[in-house]
Chain A
C-alpha cells in the first residue's frame, strides 16, 4: 500500500491549481507548463523555473503527478502528467470553487431582488 496524500483541507494556491489544470488536459514538459500557466492566467502569473519546479517536486512527492521521459525527448527532458489522486484533488477543488461560485451567485441574486 503506497502512502499518498489524497484530500486537501485548504484551498490550492492559484499557481498550483493552474499547474494541475495545465496537466489535466495532457502530459507536458516544464517549459510547456510555464507557458500554459501564463496563458491560463491571461499573462498574470509568470512563474520562475525555481518556483515551478519547487511546486512540481512537492506534487511529485505527494503523488499527485508523475514524471516520465518522453520518447525522442532531447537531453533526457522529463514530462509530467496527472495521476489519479491528483485528478481527484483537482476535481475536488473545482467542486469547491463551483460551490463557492453558486453560493456567491445566489447571495448576489437575493441582494439584487
Chain B
C-alpha cells in the first residue's frame, strides 16, 4: 500500500535519474524501517508520504493537523444537533400470479409497471396522504409552521414506491421530525399502512375490472341473443320461396355465431370474477414486512467521521500552505558568476 502511494505521488515529480534514485533509496529505507518493527514502520510511512507532498520534516505539522482534525470533530458534533435525523423503513411486495393453473385460467397477464402507475396515483393522492398524516399524527413540528398542502408534498417526496424486480415492488418511507427514535417506529407504521393500501387497492381494482368486464359481455350477449331470436322468428315466418329468405338465413347464422363468441367471452370474464372473489387471482403479497430502522439514515458516527476527515484535510492543506510560503529554499543565496 505504502509503495503504491509512494510511486503514485512520486509520479508527479520530474521523471529523471534523481527521482529514480529517490525511489531506490526509499526501498532501502523501507526495508530498514520494516525490520525495526511495526510502530517504526508506521512512523516511517507517515514521514515518507508527508515528505513527498512537501510537508517539512522538521516541523510538528502533524500536531497542527491533529488539532485541525479535533476541531473538525467538535464542529461536526455541534452541527449534528442542527441536522435533521431521518429514519427509513422499507418493505417488499411480491406480485403473485393466479393460484389456479394458467392452463385452465384464461390469459390474464398483469403488467407490474402499469399496475404501479395506477396504484401510485391512488395511494399517493392528496386525500390518502392527508388521512395518513392525520391517523399517525405525522410531522407535529412541521405542522406548526406549514400548511397541510406543503406537508403532503413533503410527505409524498419521502415515499418511494418502485419496481425492484420482475415481480417485486419496494416501498420505502423516510421520516424525521422529533429527533427521537420514535420517528423510526412511525416510519415503520406508515410503510405498513401503505402496504395494506397497495394490496387492498389492487384487489379492489382487479375485482372491479373483472365485474365491469363481465357486465359488459353480459349486455353484449343479451343484445346478440335478442337479435338472433328475432331473426330466427322472422326466418320461420318467411316462406322459402321468398326472395329475402336466403339473405335472412345468412344473417341469422351470423348473429348466432356472434352470440356464441360473446357467450364464450362472458364465460371467461365470469371465471375471472369467480377467481377474484375467491382471492385466487393475481395478488400482491407481503414478501418482507416493514423494517424497524434502529439507526438514522446518517448515523452520528458518519457525521463525526466526516468532520474529522474534513479537519484533517484542512490541517494538511494548512501545513502545505505554510510550507509553500516558507519555500524559499533551504538555501538562501545570491546569484554570482563562477569564474571561468
Contact = CB atoms under 8 A, between A and B. Distances in A.
Contact of B330 (A9, A48, A55): A55
B56 interface: yes
A106 interface: no
Contacts, number: 123
Contacts of B52: 48-50
Given A48-B52, A50-B22, A9 B333 contact: yes
Interface stretch (B23-31, B83-91, B106-114, B222-230): B23-31
A15 B331 CA distance: 10
Interface in A1-59: 1-16, 29-31, 34, 45-59
Interface residues of B, number: 33
B334 A8 contact: yes
Given A13-B330, A15-B330, A49 B48 contact: yes
Contacts of A67: 17-18, 21
Nearest to A75: B24
A15 B57 contact: yes
Contacts of A85: 338
Interface in B1-41: 10, 17-22, 24-26, 28-29
Given A3-B338, A67-B18, A34 B57 contact: no
Contact of B21 (A54, A63, A78): A78
A107 to B, nearest CB: 26
Contacts of B334: 5-9
A45 B330 CA distance: 15
B165 interface: no
B127 interface: no
Given A45-B58, A47-B57, A50-B48, A16 B21 contact: no
Given A4-B338, A48-B52, A53-B18, A30 B331 contact: no
B331 A51 contact: no
B319 to A, nearest CB: 13
Given A3-B338, A9-B333, A30 B25 contact: yes
B335 interface: yes
Given A34-B25, A49-B48, A50-B48, A57 B333 contact: no
A37 B257 CA distance: 108
B336 A46 contact: no
B50 interface: yes
Contact of A56 (B18, B48, B329): B18
A30 B58 contact: no
A30 B335 contact: no
A106 B22 CA distance: 44
A76 B23 CA distance: 11
Interface of A: 1-16, 29-31, 34, 45-60, 62-64, 67, 75-78, 85, 89
25 contacts: A1-B337, A1-B340, A5-B335, A6-B333, A7-B333, A11-B332, A13-B331, A15-B58, A31-B25, A48-B57, A50-B10, A50-B22, A50-B51, A51-B56, A52-B22, A52-B51, A53-B18, A53-B21, A57-B18, A62-B331, A62-B333, A76-B17, A76-B21, A78-B17, A78-B21
